[in-house]
Chain A
Amino acid sequence: MTDFNENVNIEKKASGQADINSVPFTEVEQPGPASLAQQAKGFWVTFSTMFKKNQTVQYPDVKALTAPRFHGRHQLNRHPDGLEKCIGCELCAWACPADAILVEGGNNTPGNQLSPGERHGAVYQINYLRCIFCGLCVEACPTRALTMTNEYELADDKREKLIFEKDDLLAPLRQGMLAPPHPMYPGMTDTNYYNGDVKEAHPSQGEK
C-alpha cells in the first residue's frame, strides 16, 4: 500500500474546527495529453472503419432472423385434432404484471365443444399497448395453450387494432386438424389430450 499520509501529522480537531487540510488525501496525477502518435491512432480508427463492411440491416427490405426464443406476439395453440388448448383458467391474466390480458371462461356444451374438458376460453384479449413481452403468461399457462411467436412487427395506426382478439391469436389449422367446435376424440378424456395421446382428428369428429 502506498502510504500517502505517512509524513503528514494529522491533528485531531474538534468537529466544527476541522479544515480541508486535516483530511488525508491522495494527490492524483493527471496524465498529460497523449502523444501525437497516440492521437493519430484515434484518427486512423475512424478512417479505416470507413472501408469496413457496415452492420446496417436494411430492415423493411431485409428482415433479420430473431433469436429462436425471441419474445414476440402470442399464439393460442391447438391440440392435434384442432380443439383449442386454452381452458379459460385466467392464470395468464393473473400472472400478467402489465394487466394486458383479459380472459373470460365459458362452459363446453355438447353442441359447442371448443376445447377438451369442461371449460374453454370464451373471450381472450391481449392488449399490445400494455404488453411488456415478459413471458410470465406463458410460464403460467397450465396447458401450454399460450406461447410466443417470433413475430415482432406490432405497430399500427389505431389503438383499437392493437388489442388482439382470440381470432387474431389462435394458431392456424394444420394438417389433420378440424375447425372447432366439434366433439372430443372418441374414447379420449381431457387427460389423454393433456398427455398427448391424441395425434390427429378422428373422422367421426367432423360429422355433424
Chain B
Amino acid sequence: MTTAQLLGQDPGWLIAVKALMVFIICVLATLMAVWTERRVLAKMQLRTGPNRVGPAGLLQSLSDGVKLALKEDIIPAAADKVVFIIAPIIATSMCFMAFAVIPMTGVVNIFGRQTALQLTDLPVGVLYILAVTSIGVYGVVLAGWSSGSTYPLLGGLRSSAQVISYEVAMGLSLVAVFIYASSMSTSDIVASQHQHLWNAVVLFPSFVIYVISMVGETNRAPFDLAEAEGELVGGFHTEYSSLKFALFFLAEYVNIIAVSALATTLFLGGYHALPGLGFTEQWLGGWFTLIWFFAKVNFFFFIFMWLRGSLPRLRYDQFMKFGWKVLIPVSLVWILIVAALRVLQQEGAPRSAILAFAVGVVIIVMAISSMIERNKVKVRSADLPEGEAPNFPIPSLPQVKSINVSGGK
C-alpha cells in the first residue's frame, strides 16, 4: 500500500489532529531553532550564548516571543494599512503550508489508526512546495512596499529578486531528482531512495546546488542581502513591530526548517534511518523515524548556522552573478547528463556504453575546468614601488619604505 493510499483512508478528525501536530512541531522547532542557532553561533565565537532563562537558556526564545507579543503595535502613517497587515500573514501561513506534504514518519499509530505523519500526499508534492514558498515571497515584497518607507522597499525588492533568481536554480536542481525517482510525490521520492542509494550520493551536484540555493531562497547569511543590517537597517521588516514582526521572525525560521525538511526528503532519504541502522525504524512503534527525520533536518540547520558563522555577506552583483552564471548553467548541464544516463539505462544500453558516456562527460568537464584554470590571472607578489621621497610632506615612519604615490618620474 502506498503512502497516498494510506493517507486516503484518514478520517476527518485524524486529518485535523495531524494538522495540529504539524503546526505544533513547526512552532516548537522554531523556538528550538532560535535557541540552537544562538548557542551554536556563540560557541563558534567563543561565547556562551543565552543561558539565563530556563535550563541552559532553553526558554529564551519563548520569553522573547512573549515580549514581542506584548510590545506596542505600530502602523506607520505612510503605510498601506490593509497590505501592511496582510503581508506577514501571507509570509507565515505559506511557510506552514509547505509542511503539509513533508513525510515526517513512516507508518505509525495515531489514536488507534495506522497512518503516517504527513498531512497529505500530492502527486506533484514538490511542485506544490515550490509554488507555496514562492507565494511566501509576496509577503516579503508586499511588506516592503506597503511600509511606505525607503529601506523596507529596497529590502523587499532585493529579497524578491534574490528569491526568484535562486528559485530557478533550486527548481532545476530538483529536476534531476524527479528524473531519477520518476515521481514528484515526496513519499515516492523517499521510497525510491530507500530502494536505491540516497540522492545526495547519486545526484551529488544536484544536492550541492540545492543546498546553496536553499540558503539563497531563505535570505540567510551569506545571502542575507534583503535584511543587510549595515545597509538597510532591518530590510523589509524595518517598520514592523510587535506580533507582526514576530510573524516574520516565525516565517523565516519555519521557512528554514521547511527547506531543510525538503532537502532531507529529496536527498537524504527522508525519515528512513542511516544505511545499516534500519532496525531502529521499528522502535517506539515507528515513531523513531521522526527522530531520524529531525536529526537530518538538524544537519541541514547546522549547515545554515555554520555558513552564517563562517562567511561574510556577498556583494549584490557577485551574488546575482553566482546565481545566474554559475548555478543555473551548471544545473542545466547536469540535467542533460542525468537525462542522457537515464535514457541510456531505460533503453537497455550495454553497461560499457553507459560507462563510456560517464567517462566522456568527466573528461570534458576536466578539460573545461583546466582551461578555466589556465585563464586565471597569475597572482604576483605585490611589490611596492620603491622610489625617491614623495613630493608632499608625510610623517616619516621607522622601517617603512616611502612609497611614491605621485607615480611620476
Contacts and interface: CB of A to CB of B under 8 A. Distances in A.
Nearest to B409: A5
Contact of B43 (A42, A43, A49, A58): A49
Interface in B343-382: 376-377, 379-380
Contact of B47 (A2, A26, A54): A54
B49 to A, nearest CB: 9
Contact of B387 (A1, A26, A32, A58): A1
B386 interface: yes
Contact of B48 (A4, A24, A29, A58): A58
Contacts of B48: 54, 56, 58
A54 B46 contact: yes
A52 B383 contact: no
A49 B407 contact: no
Interface in B253-299: none
Interface in B303-351: 306, 309-311
B43 A50 contact: yes
A31 B43 contact: no
A46 B376 contact: no
B35 to A, nearest CB: 16
B45 interface: yes
Contact of A49 (B46, B380, B385): B46
A55 interface: yes
B44 interface: yes
A11 B40 CA distance: 61
A30 B318 CA distance: 15
Interface size range of chain A in the complex: 20 to 34
Given A54-B42, A54-B48, A1 B386 contact: yes
B112 interface: no
B393 interface: no
Given A24-B407, A29-B379, A46 B46 contact: no
A154 interface: no
A62 to B, nearest CB: 12
Question: Which of A32, A45, A46 is packed against the most chain B CB atoms within 10 Å?
Answer: A46
Contact of B44 (A4, A49, A55): A49
Interface in B1-50: 40, 42-48
B55 interface: no
A159 to B, nearest CB: 25
Interface string A83-127: 000000000000000000000000000000000000000000000
B385 to A, nearest CB: 4
Nearest to A30: B377
A152 interface: no
Interface majority SS (helix, strand, loop, mixed), chain A: loop
Contacts, number: 55
B230 interface: no
Contact of B385 (A2, A45, A53): A2
Interface string B98-131: 0000000000000000000000000000000000
B385 A46 contact: no
Given A1-B385, A42-B310, A49-B46, A24 B40 contact: no
A24 B406 CA distance: 9
B40 A50 contact: yes
Contact of B45 (A42, A43, A47, A49): A49
A47 B306 contact: yes
Contact of B46 (A5, A24, A52): A52
A47 B307 CA distance: 10
Nearest to A60: B52
Contact of A45 (B40, B42, B310, B407): B310
B407 A43 contact: no
Given A1-B386, A45-B310, A56 B47 contact: yes
A29 B380 contact: yes
Interface in B41-79: 42-48, 51
A138 to B, nearest CB: 33
Contacts of A26: 407
B408 interface: yes
Interface string A43-84: 101110110111110100000000000000000000000000
Given A24-B408, A50-B40, A55-B47, A43 B306 contact: yes
A115 to B, nearest CB: 47
Interface in B158-202: none
B47 A31 contact: no
Contacts of A54: 42-43, 46-48
Contacts of B386: 1
A98 to B, nearest CB: 31
Contacts of A45: 310
Contacts of A24: 407-408
A34 to B, nearest CB: 11
Contacts of A55: 46-47
Q: Which 8 A-B pairs have the closest CB atoms?
A: A56-B48, A50-B43, A1-B385, A46-B309, A46-B310, A46-B44, A54-B46, A55-B46
Interface of A: 1-2, 4-5, 24-26, 29-32, 42-43, 45-47, 49-50, 52-56, 58
21 contacts: A1-B385, A2-B383, A2-B385, A4-B385, A24-B407, A26-B407, A29-B377, A30-B377, A31-B379, A32-B376, A32-B377, A32-B379, A45-B310, A46-B310, A47-B306, A49-B45, A50-B40, A50-B44, A54-B47, A58-B48, A58-B51
Interface of B: 40, 42-48, 51, 306, 309-311, 376-377, 379-380, 383, 385-387, 404, 407-409
Given A1-B404, A49-B43, A49-B44, 8 more contacts: A2-B385, A30-B377, A45-B310, A46-B309, A49-B46, A52-B46, A55-B47, A56-B48
